[in-house]
Amino acid sequence: MDIAESVLARFWSKVTLDPTGCLIWTAGRSVYGYGRFFWNGHSGAAHRFAYMALVGDIPAGLSLDHLCRVRHCVRPDHLEAVTPRENTLRGENHVADQARRTHCPRGHAYTPANTRLKNGKRECRTCHNQARRDKRAASKSA
């Protein structure tokens, strides 16, 4: 994608780095909360512009999912090109995750004894041990 330096400079002048690591769009937003950027004769989504400018074209039929869930974030490595269906499912899962906090996906309580930390995320010990047993059983029978 061929984008003039002056356009890129204008783009980045509207972006500020958030302490969380998100690149926050400070100019106008759409009703959906996405940053708007006027470029090439029309106004488009700022995060889509950032992705096209720094990563490449967005494959046809795919939309950009905000992994950070901040819609006015334009950081390309917070974006992933996914099918619209995947995007919707992830959004719903995110809400479900919040509600599920006291229990693991299989319903084991996150008690201190049953909780281990992996990469800063909680993991259920019961499920972890079960997965290890399954793995061992699988390698034995293979």
Q: How far is the CB of 82 from Zn ion (least distance, A)?
A: 15
**36, 48 contact by CB (below 8 A):** no
Nearer to Zn ion, 60 or 113 (CB): 113
**100, 84 contact by CB (below 8 A):** no
- Burial of 67: CB neighbours in 10 Å, binned 0-12, 13-18, 19+: middle
Nearer to Zn ion, 64 or 70 (CB): 70
Draw the binding track, 54-93, toward Zn ion (x: CB under 5 A; -: no contact).
Answer: --------------x-x--x-x--x---------------
Nearer to Zn ion, 65 or 75 (CB): 75
The residue type found at 141 is S
